[in-house]
Structure 1
Amino acid sequence: MALRRALHFVFKIGDRAKTATFYRDVLGMKVGVSKVKFLKEKSTVLRVCHMFVHFLYPCSPYDGRWSKTMVGFGPEDDHFVVELTYNYGVGEYTLGNDFRVCKVRLNLLKKVKVLCDCVLVSLQGITLQSSKAVSNARRLGWPLTQVAEALYLIPAPGGYPFYLVDKEEPSSDPVQKVCLGVSDLQRSTHYWTTLLGMKIMEKNEEKNTILLGFDDTQCKLELHDVGGPVDHATAFGRIAFSCPKEQLPELEALIKKENHKILTPLVSLDTPGKATVEVVILADPDGHEICFVGDEAFRELSAMDPKGSDLLDKAMAEDKSDEWFAKHNRQKATA
């Protein structure tokens, strides 16, 4: 559907410092926005945006404290980015089988003649095509496991698997694809195409996958039939899209009519000094969280902050949560 676009995917992280090193120094992404927030239990923003289990230690100075950091290869206006959400009181999340593959194209290693697109669809995790990232990982001593020619597995903090492939950087956004596991490919295809308006780009019956998108130039969504129930565990994420503001009520009404889940009914979120953004959060048949926002206002909110990286560094330097929990003989929670 025209005018709809893919925005970002949300990851929950337990180690913010190691995660920052991975995205900035290994993968080479840039920080667009970084904010530390305190949330109250009945906050509208909490219900809409915050996916953590918190208020774990009522006597802790970190109760209700979390941060959001956006990282990517460019502004969210024309790049698919990653949102990293960090809860000061949670040290670890349990991975499920819901999140599969995200592709990125970057620089091609000159000596490589055989490319590895044929194997990417079956790899669980995020795939980046970047010889520079491979070089960065080796230089920084990040563990690399070669799984095919010019293809390496590298773990992100928290266990999210990444795959690094060498390929020529495209003129458009390097992020190519996000893949989600589903239990019934036909049912999920109907939901994402008929109800959400995505187009079928490619089918692979042998691998039980289907590639969807709103536009050829955007990051694509791949659905992969996992052959059984989808387990989101506690590390479940959320994928976000935008559409013209006037389409949001129509989308919500269609989902209601078809008796599918609406996690957060259409709501307006106010940001002091900035535009008010309208948001609706859905769940597909397997429970994948899907956020749609009004495009016009979101473009203002998602503008890159030139101080984003410095703000992240400042927040990490001021984060004494590890010391506090150690002093009180406590461990951060495993959500």
Structure 2
Amino acid sequence: MTSRRTLHFVFKIGDRNATLKFYREILGMKVLRHEEFEEGCKATCNGPYDGKWSKTMIGYGAEDNHFVCELTYNYGIGQYALGNDFLGLTIKSAEAVKNCKVKNWELKVLSENIYETHAPGGYRFVLVDEPQPCTDPVQKVTLASSCLQKSVDFWTKIAGMKVYEQNGKQATLGYSDEQAKLSLQDIACPVEHKKAFGRVAIACPRNELKGVQNAAKEANGTILTELVSLDTPGKATVEVVILADPDGHEICFVGEEAFRELSQIDPKGNDLLNEAIAADKSNEWYSKHRRAKPDA
């Protein structure tokens, strides 16, 4: 399905200040757009929460040709428990490795030219110490699988990806050579998501969304949200279908045409984010009252 493309992975974050320092100063990503919402998302983009939240898209370039990160922040929640489901985002960037060393950020050697670090909240990142490519530095997102072949069957037959590499413990899939890949790693035990569970987003031509939903139904797959329209005031209305793979990993298929309009870079995004962080006094309130910000 060359007309489909991987878009982003959704991370729930509890500390915007520390998290954005990591993404901007360590990874060297740029804020692409930022939005504030007064109530939860109809498609549970921010998780199963009904209150005020924000969404920050951040990456090395527009989602038209880059895999980016979506950071969702629920006001009043300070931390999310990690499961064994998300195994890492791999980025080719000697600059990020250098930033870790210069700023004394945690950096563990995995092998020659390959390092491991973590974002605030515990999310794992693998950094390849090679010049940052002019295309997309994000190479792949790695998710856990309890049964590799069952996972591969889902991502090929329903999500429409092709297999690039596969052995007994790992498979690499994707839609094209130029895009960030999905890596599935067999962990030989049940996949546990806990509160920090994320979501992969995939752009799909609008006229294929119903087919994706029907394919999941015919395979007795899990449909979390049937085809629905999501309104963003003043912007495009997008249609989405949200599925779960055999291990419960969420996948949001979004209509390509409207999403291209919705996902344009906002030159005011960084300023909007900074203003929102400055206006958020929740940390000061909890500190004043000598209480810890609640966990999810």
Identity among equivalent pairs (%): 56
Which of 135, 138, 155 in structure 2 is aligned with 1:192? 155
Q: Distance in 2 between matches of 1:82 and 1:194?
A: 26
Moved more, 1-10 or 318-327: 318-327
Structure 1 residue 195, shift from structure 2 partner = 1.6
- Equivalent pair of 1:52/1:87 in contact (CA under 8 Å): no
Partner of 1:109: none
Q: Distance in 2 between matches of 1:218 and 1:81?
A: 11
Q: Distance in 2 between matches of 1:250 and 1:145?
A: 44
Q: Distance in 2 between matches of 1:329 and 1:169?
A: 44
Q: Distance in 2 between matches of 1:256 and 1:167?
A: 43
Give the residue type in structure 2 aligned to 1:71.
I
Structure 1 residue 169, shift from structure 2 partner = 3.2
Structure 1 residue 325, shift from structure 2 partner = 2.2
Answer yes or no: is 1:268 the counterpart of 2:229.
yes
Partner of 1:168: 131
SS at match of 1:252: helix
Q: Distance in 2 between matches of 1:238 and 1:85?
A: 11
Q: Could you list the runs of 5+ residues in structure 2 that have no partner in the other structure?
A: none
Q: Distance in 2 between matches of 1:244 and 1:185?
A: 28
Structure 1 residue 327, shift from structure 2 partner = 3.1
Which of 233, 251, 254 in structure 1 is aligned with 2:212? 251
Answer yes or no: is 1:99 the counterpart of 2:86.
yes
Answer yes or no: is 1:289 the counterpart of 2:250.
yes
Structure 1 residue 52, shift from structure 2 partner = 4.6
- Equivalent pair of 1:8/1:82 in contact (CA under 8 Å): yes
Q: How does 1:202-221 map to 2 (within 5 A)?
A: 202-205=165-168, 208-221=169-182
Q: How does 1:1-335 map to 2 (within 5 A)?
A: 1-39=1-39, 45-53=41-49, 64-100=51-87, 125-205=88-168, 208-335=169-296
CA RMSD of aligned residues (A): 1.5
Structure 1 residue 330, shift from structure 2 partner = 3.1
Q: Distance in 1 between matches of 2:258 and 2:113?
A: 41
Partner of 1:60: none
Structure 1 residue 250, shift from structure 2 partner = 1.2
- Equivalent pair of 2:95/2:131 in contact (CA under 8 Å): no
Q: Deviations over 1:308-329 (max 9, x none)?
A: 1111111111110011223344
Q: Deviations over 1:165-192 (max 9, x none)?
A: 2123334222111111011111111111
Q: How many residues align?
A: 296
Distance change >3 Å, CA 130–CA 175, structure 1 → 2: same
Distance change >3 Å, CA 138–CA 253, structure 1 → 2: same
What TM-score do you get using the length of structure 1 for normalisation?
Answer: 0.85
Give the residue type in structure 1 aligned to 2:12.
K
- Equivalent pair of 2:31/2:58 in contact (CA under 8 Å): yes
- Equivalent pair of 1:48/1:264 in contact (CA under 8 Å): no
- Equivalent pair of 1:39/1:46 in contact (CA under 8 Å): no
What TM-score do you get using the length of structure 2 for normalisation?
Answer: 0.95
- Equivalent pair of 2:113/2:130 in contact (CA under 8 Å): no
Structure 1 residue 38, shift from structure 2 partner = 0.9
Rg larger for = 1
